[in-house]
Amino acid sequence: MALDPQVEKILTWAARANAPAYPEIGATAAREHYARVAGTLDIVTPALAEVFDFDMPLAGRVLRVRQYAPWTHHWATPKPALVYFHGGGFTIGSIETHDRVCRVLARGGDCLVFSVDYRLAPEHRFPAAVDDAFDALAWLRSEAASLGIDLARLAVGGDSAGGTLAAASAIHARDRGWPLALQLLIYPGLSHDQNTESHRRCARGYLLDAETIQWFFGQYLRYPADRHDWRFAPLLADTLAGLAPAWIAAAGYDPLRDENVAYARRLGEEGVPVELIEYPGMIHAFFQHAGFVPAARRAHDDACAALRRAFGGFDDEPVG
């Protein structure tokens, strides 16, 4: 399928802007640039009943977490919850850059969302981000009663590198006997190498190019051997059997498209319920283009419907 016409416009504007590539400007400037542009094509910020930040004390560090609720929430009435990890190649991004996506998922999924501001590279290299994801999930489980989380309806999710963290967290949860209702994986990174047809076909000209992907990994990974660790590349896990059901969004013009398809296929072969939806005319990060690209809004609706189903709701159930 051809590129979505609105996406074509985005790529044309990006080419004309001729902005310096992240590898040229370094991590600090890349974060600042991404923070400025991340919401440019996103939807108007949805209003929710409750949005606030709190500190999560973990061993040797404190992480910031943003909690979202589409209704007035009290700890005495446990609700379904999604633990969310933002994208950004483990190097850029924050709970601020993904605020609107989390609001959409809270409102449309009719659930609490806890967005985790995990540590970034290169200041904190592998496995810092994945350790933060694992420990955040453990902490939220331990504090479920005080936070009003229904542990029978707890999910993990994320986009891009955050999708990697969510997929790895689902494996971690299985290995510890922690049930999850869903793993919501939005164009996640899953492979230890980039030797697929989609990586070759989309190596240039689709916003996330091959050079930038390798630069992100160079910021995050300590040694070449880290690439072969399943916590970085969940496709390398010995087994995916017994994992939580998965909902995976793939983009047709995303270098990561083929590894998303491969992961969905392997989940299915190993007995895990999985729904893979490919959005053919989309590019990487399209979930943050929903203010300009109607197809991205449809993907928001699909993700929210998947959450409601996982939590025992219905697609036509009123939300809010």
Is residue 192 flagged as an active site residue? no
How distant, in Å, are the alpha carbons of 19, 88, 185, 242, 293 from that of 190?
Answer: 28, 14, 10, 18, 26
Q: Quick check: helix, strand or coil at residue 252?
A: strand
Is residue 160 flagged as an active site residue? yes
Is residue 172 flagged as an active site residue? no
Q: Cα torsion for 160, 108, 289, 244, to the nearest 10°? A: 20
Which one is catalytic: 98, 172, 284, 289? 284
Contacts of 24 (CB under 8 A, 6+ apart): none
Q: By the 8 A CB rule, do 163 and 233 touch?
A: no
How distant, in Å, are the alpha carbons of 199, 235, 238, 242, 317 from that of 269?
Answer: 24, 13, 13, 12, 32
Which one is catalytic: 160, 169, 191, 198? 160
Cα–Cα distance measured from residue 10 to residue 5, given in angstroms and rounded to the nearest whole number: 9
| Count of positions (residues) in the chain | 320
Which one is catalytic: 254, 258, 289, 300? 254
Annotated catalytic residues are 160, 254, 284
